[in-house]
Structure 1
Amino acid sequence: MRAVGRNDKNRVLWGTRVRGGLAVLTVAAIASGCTQSERGDRSETPHGSRARPAPGRQPLLAPPARALDAYATRLRTAALARAAAARRWGLAKVPLTAPAPPAKKPRITTRKGFEVDGHAEDDLPPVFTTIPTEQKIVFLTIDDGAEKDPAFLRMMTELKIPYTAFLSDYLIKEDYGYFKRMQRAGVGLNNHTLNHPYLPGLSYARQKHEICGMQDVIEERYGKRPVLFRPPFGSYNGNTLRAAKSCGITHAPLWNEEVFVDHWAYREWDRDIHPGDIVLSHFRGKEHWKGTMPDMIRRFLDRVTAKGYAVARLEDYL
C-alpha cells in the first residue's frame, strides 16, 4: 500500500472544497431562480433555458410594475405632445389639465334673478351661468356655427381642450360635415334654435317650432337628440322654457364671461373668472372679428391658464 503523501492530502482537500463550493453555488442558483420566477424577472428561451437580458437593458418588471411604467410613459408622452402643441399654436403656457369629473354630479339650480313665473312649480329647465364647484375649472361654450375654420379643429384636437357647441341650423346647414368632425372628436352638439330669433317675441307655438325643429336636425344629422339648449342672445321667457322642456331639454346654460378675439366681457362686477364659470364665444372669423378662431382660443387659454384654471367639459358636470 502506498503511503499518502502531502501532495495527495492537498489534492483530496482541494477536491472536497470544490465540491462544497459547487453545492453552495447550486443552492444559491436554485434559490435565485425561484425568486426571479416569483417576481417574473426571469426570461426564457423557447427551450426553457434562462436568457440573460441584452447588454444595457434591465430585466422585465412584474406585470403590475410594467402596467404602472406603461401608464407613466403614456402620461409623459401626452405631456410632451401637449407642450409641443402649445408652442406650435403660440400659447404663453401649456394649458392645465382638468381633474376627473365628479362621480356625483352637482345639483344645478336656476340662478337667482333668472327665474320665470312657475319655474320651480312646473319643473322647468334650470337657467344658470356657473357650475357649483370649488375646483379651478371653467367651461368653454361656442355658439351658432357661422365660421368653419379647419385650423380651429386642429388646434383644439392637438391641445385636447374640451368645449361644447350650441348650433343654429341656418348657419351649419351649408357644411354639416364640419360639425360631424367636431362630434367625432368628442364635442357635444347642442341646441341654439333653427334660425336664431329673439324668442320672447314669438308665440309659444313658434318658439316650440324653433327649438323642437333644431332637436330634429341634430338627431337626424348627428344621431343624438341633445338635452342642452341656449336661447339666442340669452333671452327667454316662460314659454321658451316650457317649449324647451316639451322638446326634451333638461338644462339651459347661459354664461358668466364672453371671450372675443381681442377682449373679454364679464357679467360680474369684479370682472374676473371664478370656479365653475361658463365662458361663451362664437364661431367667428375675420369677416366678423379682427382675427381668427385660433386667435380667440389663444386669448382664452392664455388668460385662464395664467389664472391657474383648467378647461373642463360641461356635459361631464350635468
Structure 2
Amino acid sequence: MVLAALLVAGLGTACGSSESAAPDKTEKTKAGKGAESGAAGALAQAKAAQQARVAAAKRWGLVKTPLMAPAAPKEKPEISTREGFEVEDGDELPHVFTTVPTEDKVVFLTIDDGAEKDPEFLKMMRELKIPYTAFLSDYLVRDNYPYFKEMQAAGVTLNNHTLNHRYMPGLSYDQQREEICGQQDTIQRVFGKRPTLFRPPYGNYNQDTLKAAKSCGIKAVPLWNAEAFVNRMDYREWDRDLHPGDIILTHFRGKDDWKGSMPDMIRHVMKTVTDKGYAVARLEDYL
C-alpha cells in the first residue's frame, strides 16, 4: 500500500511537471509568432516608406530616389578644428571644421541667410524627408518668422548666422558679441530654443569671433567643404569631389539671385549626391 501510494504520488508529480511545462511552450510559441509578426510589420513599414520616397522623388522631378542615411551613430565622432583654420590660443574655443569625421557615406546639407521663403521648398523637403540645418541672419528672416517656425516644426534646427550678416573680423570684440549674442537671444525668443551652432558670415572669423561665440553659448562652428547652386557644385578640396562627412553649404535664394528656384537647387544637389553614392544625414546627429 505504501509502495502504491508512492507510485501514485510520483505519477502526480510527473503529471504536474508536464502540465506546468505546457504553458511555457505555448508562451514561447506565442512569443515567436509575435516576433515574426513584429518583424513582418517592420518590413512592411520600411517597404511602404521606400515606396513613398520613390513616389515623392518622381513627383518632385528627381532623377533618382535619395538614398537612406544610416541610423545616427551611438557614439558621436570627436570633432576638432581643421588644420589651417586654427586661431591663436584656440584650444578652448569652439572647433571650426568643414567635414565631420565619419566612415559613413553621408554628407550634410546646410542652408544660410534666409532671404528666400519659398513654400514649395518646405513642402518638397518635408515630402522627400531630406534633413538639413539652417543658419539664419535676423535682418533677412524677421519679415516672416512663421515660415521658419514651420521649418522648425518639421524637425529643422535653426542656428546662428548673426543679426546682420556683417564681416566679423572687421568688428571689435564687443560688436561681434552683439551680433552673435543678439541673434542667440532673438532665436531663443522667437523660436524657443537657443542655438549651439554658429556659422560666421562668408566663413570669415578671428580669435575674437570664437571668443564671443563661446561666451554666447556656441559649442561648434561648422563651415563647409562644398557649395551648392542650381546648376553646379563648388568644392574646397583639390579633387573637386565629395567625401564622407562633408558639409554642403547653400543659401535661401531664388530666381532673383539664381537661374532657378530652391527646388531646382535641391534637384541638382540630390542628383550629385545620389550619383556619387551618398545619403544626406542630419548634422546634429553627428555632433
TM-score of the pair, normalised by structure 1: 0.81
Using the alignment, how far apart are the partners of 1:295 and 1:87 within structure 2? 14
Find the residue that maps to 2:64 and give its secondary structure: coil
- Partner amino acid, structure 2, of 1:113: G
Using the alignment, how far apart are the partners of 1:257 and 1:192 within structure 2? 18
Gaps of 5+ in 2: 1-23
Verify: 1:107 aligned to 2:107, yes or no: no
Gaps of 5+ in 1: 1-33, 42-60
**Partner residue, 2:62:** 91
Using the alignment, how far apart are the partners of 2:192 and 2:80 within structure 1? 29
1:168-179 alignment runs, 5 A limit? 168-179=137-148
1:15-164 alignment runs, 5 A limit? 39-40=29-30, 62-120=33-91, 123-164=92-133
Kindly indicate whether structure 1 or structure 2 has the higher relative contact order, using CA contacts under 8 Å at least 6 residues apart. Answer: 2
Match of 1:166 among 110, 135, 138: 135
1:214/1:36 Cα in 2 relative to 1: closer, same or farther (>3 Å)? same
Using the alignment, how far apart are the partners of 1:36 and 1:106 within structure 2? 46
**Partner residue, 2:226:** 257
**Partner residue, 1:212:** 181
Match of 1:277 among 238, 246, 250: 246
Paired residue total: 264
- Partner amino acid, structure 2, of 1:161: I
Q: CA deviation at 1:65?
A: 1.7
Moved over 2 A (4+): 34-41
**Partner residue, 1:296:** 265
Q: CA deviation at 1:264?
A: 1.0
TM-score of the pair, normalised by structure 2: 0.89
- Partner amino acid, structure 2, of 1:168: S
Find the residue that maps to 2:71 and give its secondary structure: coil
- Partner amino acid, structure 2, of 1:114: F
Superposed CA RMSD in Å reads 1.5
Q: CA deviation at 1:62?
A: 2.5
1:35/1:131 Cα in 2 relative to 1: closer, same or farther (>3 Å)? closer
Q: CA deviation at 1:39?
A: 3.8
Find the residue that maps to 1:62 and give its secondary structure: helix
**Partner residue, 1:198:** 167
**Partner residue, 1:57:** none
| Residues 180-226 of structure 1: CA deviation (Å, up to 9, x unaligned) | 11111111100000000001000000000000000001101111101
Find the residue that maps to 1:106 and give its secondary structure: coil
Match of 2:154 among 160, 174, 185: 185
Find the residue that maps to 1:240 and give its secondary structure: helix
Q: CA deviation at 1:263?
A: 1.1
1:206/1:90 Cα in 2 relative to 1: closer, same or farther (>3 Å)? same
